[in-house]
Every structure is written in C-alpha cells, then in structure tokens.
Amino acid sequence: MRTKINLLLVPLLFFVIQCEDEVAGLSEQDDSSSLSASSALDTLFNGKNVYICGFYSDTVETTPIACYWKDGARIDLDYGWAEDIKVVDGDIYISGRWTDETGWNGSYCYWKNGERIDLQGGTDLEVGGIYVYDGDVYVAGTRLTDVGFFGTPVACYWKNGQRTDLTTTAMDAVAYGIGVNNGDVYVTGWRIQNHTTLACYWKNGVINNLHGTSYFGEGYDIAFSGNNVYISGHVDKSSTDSWNACYWKNGNRVDMARRSSYGTCIGSEAFGIFIDGSDIYLAGYNMIVNKNGVAVKWRNGNTHELSGDSALVEWHHLWDIAVEEGIKISVGYYTPDISNEYNYDLGLPSFPIYYVNGKRYQLEDTEYQWGEATGVYIY
C-alpha cells in the first residue's frame, strides 16, 4: 500500500536541508521507525524522479526478484537481483543477474528499459557498477576461472555486452565500479599482491594501486568532477580486520574519522560516492563494539549516523547515495531484529530502504521479507 507524504511537511524538509550540515559531527539520527510511505519521493523534485534498484522476496525461502522503484512504485524485471542503476536520456539501465525460478540457473546481465542483455563470459561471473557514455553501455565485473584450487578471479568490464579482461590468471583481482570521463574508462576494485588486497583502479586497462602492501584496502564506487577522479572505499591500516572508510581524490586518500554516538566504532566502510558541487558524499556504515552496524553517510568527512536508537537491536547498511537540490537520498537495507541471527528456522529478514535527509522509509510493505536497495539515481 502506498500513501502520500503530507504536503505540509515539504517546507519543513527544505528547512532541514539548509540546516542539517552546518554543524560537523554526529547528526541526522532518525526516529528508528520505517515509514511505509515510499511515495515520499514523488513530491521532492520538480520534474525529476528518483530511481532505486535492488531486489526483494516475500520470505527468505522465495527466489528474489530483481526490480527497480520509480518514486517508490516497483517495476519487476526477472528473478534475480539488481546491482546498479543509471538513467540517460530517459532510458533506464540496470546491472545485475537473472535466474530461473529456482534461483540457480541464469547469467549476469544488464537491462535497458526492462529488456535483458546477457553479458559475454558464462555463468561464473559477478557484476558491479554500470555506466553509459556516448551511447555505449559499460558494466564492471569479475569472472572466475578454473585456475587454482578455488579458481582465480579476473577483473573485467563489458562494453555493450562484449568483455575486456583487465587482469590475467597470474593475479587475483575484482572489479566493482566503473565510469568514463573524457573518453577514458575507469574501473575500480582490488587486486592481490604479496598476500595483500590492494585498493586499485584501472584507467584504460592500466592498473594503478591506491596504496602499498603494508595494509589492506578495497576501492568501490567512482565519481568525477571535471578532471578530478574520486573513488570510495576503505582501508585496514593495522591489518587487524578493522576497516576505515575513506575516499581517494586523484589517488590521494582522505580517511573518515571513526566516530559514533553509540559507543566505540571499531570499523567503517564506504561504498557509494556522490559529488555535489564542492561537497563529497559517501554512503556506508559504522560497526559498533557489542552492538550492530549503523547506517552512515559522510559529507566532507563529517559523520552523519542515520539509524537512531534502533541500532541497539537492528542492523543498518547503506550501499549508495545521490543528491539533488540539497536533498540527500541514500539507499540500503535494515534487519529489524538481529537477535534471530542464529535461528535458522526464522532466518534473518532484511528490508530494502531509503533515507530522505536522514528519515528512513521502507520500500516494500510486508511483514517478513528479504531484500535490499542497492543503487539510486535521480533524473
């Protein structure tokens, strides 16, 4: 069931927009209740829509369905899941995987306006970001070869469905994000060197490490501002599995302060990145000692926790973020009661969600569900 946001709240929204980031620190904690009014999106922008991709199922026993939501209204694609979304000249592009009703057979692909295009390379693949440039469709991903005991992951990307390998079986490597700037193709991810995962990116097929082998790292999303290249990710500088969210601007790393109002933050990870003028936004989460994951967005290094007091029992995670007219839309999922984590009869449900300037909304109205919102785009 969809409901309308009260139009009287719109002026208040814009007041919050102007004030929310004036003070650095831990702000925007929501009231922990997921509003089911997913149509809150359709009053935000004049002439623009919010597109969110992801997947859902009514129970953890049911095969997930890849889908996207336009202003909160769901459009199903195939059995499977969606990873990333872009809208260009009114056309909707989504990367992901389709399966049959068993959840096993199928392949990785992208959809253009709901029409599926399979990606060259077989079923032992994974895909990440999607990008459209000058009419060409680029998808980042990884293919698994049969070299080695567990197989060797090879970073790659597809242009209009045709694969280009970025590495060989001599190197374990994974690709997550992709973008094209001034005709140059950038792919982000990580590679193994000296038993260490190194955050890296490829520019026109040439690999560039983002740090040395003294610690671990991973690169995820990518964004551009003029000739500047921004990559989100995280590093483990002490090699203790204690990650620190960060981004790289033209290869120079900027760490996010690990701060939380809930206790000691022992780790943070950043996934989505968005550049809005001079502002740099990241989406991810904090991990709190003896508690749960807390959804976080960072603006210019300032931490904004979004999970409210529900972080004591719930788990929250953000995958992506987009900003338009000062309004921040971040997407991810939440698990309502992590105390069921080891109760395999009940399973562990998760609900696809989005936040509007820190207020949480649930995309699907159902009592029990398994799903995530994985990408967001405003057009």
Spatial contact of 180 and 145, defined as CB atoms under 8 Å apart: no
Stretch among 21-35, 64-78, 232-246 having the lowest mean pLDDT? 21-35
- Distance, in Å, from the CA atom of 122 to the CA atom of 151, rounded to the nearest integer, reads 15
- Distance, in Å, from the CA atom of 146 to the CA atom of 278, rounded to the nearest integer, reads 45
pLDDT at 146 over 60: yes
Mean pLDDT across 356-377: 89
Residue 22 — very low, low, confident or very high, per pLDDT cuts 50/70/90? very low
Q: What is the dihedral of CA 259, 265, 269, 275, to 10 degrees?
A: -10
- Distance, in Å, from the CA atom of 243 to the CA atom of 269, rounded to the nearest integer, reads 6
Residue 352 CB coordination number (10 Å) = 28
- Distance, in Å, from the CA atom of 108 to the CA atom of 122, rounded to the nearest integer, reads 8
Q: What are phi and psi of 160, to 5 degrees?
A: 55, 40
The class of domain 7-378 in CATH terms is mainly beta
pLDDT score for 4:
28
Q: Could you tell me which residue, 314 or 19, shows the higher pLDDT? A: 314
Q: Could you tell me which residue, 249 or 41, shows the higher pLDDT? A: 249
pLDDT at 16 over 60: no
- Distance, in Å, from the CA atom of 257 to the CA atom of 249, rounded to the nearest integer, reads 17
Residue 296 CB coordination number (10 Å) = 29
Q: Could you tell me which residue, 123 or 326, shows the higher pLDDT? A: 326
Which residues partner with 36 through β-bridges?
A: none
Place of tokens 């207020």: 359
Mean pLDDT across 163-176: 97
- Distance, in Å, from the CA atom of 104 to the CA atom of 83, rounded to the nearest integer, reads 17
- Distance, in Å, from the CA atom of 188 to the CA atom of 194, rounded to the nearest integer, reads 20
- Distance, in Å, from the CA atom of 166 to the CA atom of 130, rounded to the nearest integer, reads 16
pLDDT > 90: what percent of the chain?
A: 68
Spatial contact of 148 and 165, defined as CB atoms under 8 Å apart: no
Cβ neighbourhood burial of 288 (10 Å; 0-12, 13-18, 19+): buried
Residue 6 — very low, low, confident or very high, per pLDDT cuts 50/70/90? very low
Q: Residues of 106-125 as b/e, b for ≥16 C-beta within 10 angstroms? A: bbbbbbeeeebeebebeeeb
Domain extent listing, the chain: 7-378
- Name the token pair of 278: 């001079």
Q: Could you tell me which residue, 7 or 185, shows the higher pLDDT? A: 185
What predicted TM-score, i.e. pTM, was given to this entire model?
A: 0.90
- Distance, in Å, from the CA atom of 335 to the CA atom of 310, rounded to the nearest integer, reads 10
Mean pLDDT across 55-74: 90
Q: Give the model confidence (pLDDT) of 188-209 as tens digits.
A: 999 999 999 999 999 999 999 9
The bridge status of strand 327-335 relative to strand 351-356 is antiparallel
Q: Give the model confidence (pLDDT) of 226-263 as tens digits.
A: 999 999 999 998 777 789 999 999 999 999 999 898 88
pLDDT at 122 over 80: no
Q: Give the model confidence (pLDDT) of 288-327 as tens digits.
A: 888 789 999 999 999 999 987 777 778 899 999 999 999 9
